Structure 1
Amino acid sequence: MFPFSFLLRWLFPDPPLLLQDLRKQVAPLLKSFQGEIDALSKRSKEAEAAFLNVYKRLIDVPDPVPALDLGQQLQLKVQRLHDIETENQKLRETLEEYNKEFAEVKNQEVTIKALKEKIREYEQTLKNQAETIALEKEQKLQNDFAEKERKLQETQMSTTSKLEEAEHKVQSLQTALEKTRTELFDLKTKYDEEITAK
C-alpha cells in the first residue's frame, strides 16, 4: 500500500489536528480503494488461470484442417458416385426404351417412314398453327386499327363540336362587345350633350 501518511505529512507539516481529521476521513476511502485493487488482482489471476487451462486443452487438440480436407474430398467422391449412379440409371432406362422400340419396330425402313410421317405431321401442324396465329394477329390488328380509327373520329367530331361552340361564343362575345361599345358611345354622347347644355 502507498504510504499516504508520508504524503500527508509532506503536504500539511504544521497543523497536526487537521492531519488527524484528514486521516480519519481518508482511511475508509483508502481501505475501499485497496479492496477494489485486491479484487481486481484476484480476478486478473483467475482470468489468467482460466486462459491457461483453455490454452492447455486446445494445444493438445490435433489440427482439424487435414480431417476437414479429407472429409471434403470424401464428400465430393460420394457426390460424384451419386451423380454417376443417377446417370447410369438414366442410361439404363433409355436403353430399355430403345430395346422396346427396336423390339416393336423390326424393319428400319418402317421406322424411317414412320419418322418421316411424324415430321410431316409436325410440319403441317406447325404450318396450321402459324397460319392460325397469323390470322388471329391480323384480325386483332384490324380490330385495333378500327377501334383507334373510331376513337379518332370521335375525337375529331368532339373537337369540331368544341371548335364550333367556341366560334359561336366568340361571335356572341363580339356582338356583345359591339353592342357595349355602341351603348358606351351613346352614353358618352348624352354626357357630352348634358355638359354642353350646362
Structure 2
Amino acid sequence: QITLFTSLFQYTYKIERDLRKQVAPLLKSFQGEIDALGKRSKEAEAAFLNVYKRLIDVPDPVPALDLGQQLQLKVQRMHDIETENQKLRETLEEYNKEFAEVKNQEVTIKALKEKIREYEQTLKNQAENIALEKEQKLQNDFAEKERKLQETQMSTTSKLEEAEHKVQALQTALEKTRTELFDLKTKYDEETTAK
C-alpha cells in the first residue's frame, strides 16, 4: 500500500508539474494580450482627445456673418447716396429751369449746365469706383475667410474620420482578442476536463 501510495503521489506530482509547464506559456500569452489591449485603449483615448481638442479650436463663424452684415450696411449706404444724388439732380433741374427763365443769360446757363453735367459725371464715376472697390474688397475678404473655414472644416472632418477608423480598428481587435481568449479558455477547460 505504501508503494502504491508513493507511486500515486509521484504520478500526481508529475501531472501537476506538466500541467504547470503547459499553463505557464498560456498565462504569459494571456497577460501579453491584456497589456496590448491596455496599450491600444490608451492610444484610442489619446487619438479621441486629440481630435476633440482640434474640434474645440475650429474658428467661430460669427465674424464671417458680421462681415456679411457690414457689407449689407455699406450697400444700404450706397443706396442712400444714390437717393441723395437723385434729389440733388432734381434740385439742379429746378435751378436750370429758373435760370432758363432769366433773359439774356443763355451763355451763363449753358456754361453752368456743362459744369453741372461734368460735376455729376465726376461724382457718379467716383461713387461707382469707390463702391466697386469696397464691394470687391469685401467679397475677397469674405471669400478668403470662407475658404479658410472650409479648409479647417475639411481638415477636422478628415482627422475625425481617421480617428473613428482607428477606434473601429481597435474595437475590432479587442473583439477578436476576446474571442481568441474565450477559445483559449474553452480549450484549456476541455484539456483540464480531459486530464
The TM-score with structure 1 as length reference comes to: 0.39
1:121 Cα deviation (Å)? 2.0
Deviations 1:159-179 (A, max 9, x none): 332133123213321232223
Classify 1:24/1:83 alpha carbon distance in 2 versus 1 (closer, same or farther; 3 Å).
Answer: farther
Deviations 1:36-76 (A, max 9, x none): 99999999999999999999999999999999999999999
The TM-score with structure 2 as length reference comes to: 0.39
1:127 Cα deviation (Å)? 1.0
Of 59, 63, 66, which residue of structure 2 is paired with 1:62? 59
1:113 Cα deviation (Å)? 2.8
Deviations 1:140-171 (A, max 9, x none): 24313431342243034213321331232133
The whole-number CA distance in structure 2 between the counterparts of 1:186 and 1:34 is 15
1:118 Cα deviation (Å)? 2.5
State yes or no: 1:194 paired with 2:191.
Answer: yes
165-174 vs 23-32, which deviates more? 23-32
Classify 1:63/1:167 alpha carbon distance in 2 versus 1 (closer, same or farther; 3 Å).
Answer: closer
The whole-number CA distance in structure 2 between the counterparts of 1:180 and 1:54 is 26
The whole-number CA distance in structure 2 between the counterparts of 1:117 and 1:148 is 46
Match of residue 160 from structure 1? 157
SS at match of 1:52: helix
Deviations 1:74-126 (A, max 9, x none): 99999999999999999999999999999999973343233222211220111
Instruction: Show structure 2 runs of 5+ residues with no match.
Output: none
Aligned alpha-carbon RMSD (Å):
39.7
107-116 vs 86-95, which deviates more? 86-95
1:129 Cα deviation (Å)? 1.2
Match of residue 12 from structure 2? 11
173-182 vs 100-109, which deviates more? 100-109
43-52 vs 155-164, which deviates more? 43-52
Classify 1:151/1:49 alpha carbon distance in 2 versus 1 (closer, same or farther; 3 Å).
Answer: closer
State yes or no: 1:116 paired with 2:117.
Answer: no
Classify 1:68/1:168 alpha carbon distance in 2 versus 1 (closer, same or farther; 3 Å).
Answer: closer
Tell me: higher relative CO, structure 1 or 2? Use CA pairs within 8 A at least 6 residues apart.
2
Match of residue 17 from structure 1? none
Classify 1:167/1:32 alpha carbon distance in 2 versus 1 (closer, same or farther; 3 Å).
Answer: closer
1:35 Cα deviation (Å)? 109
The whole-number CA distance in structure 1 between the counterparts of 2:21 and 2:193 is 121
Size of the alignment, in residue pairs?
188
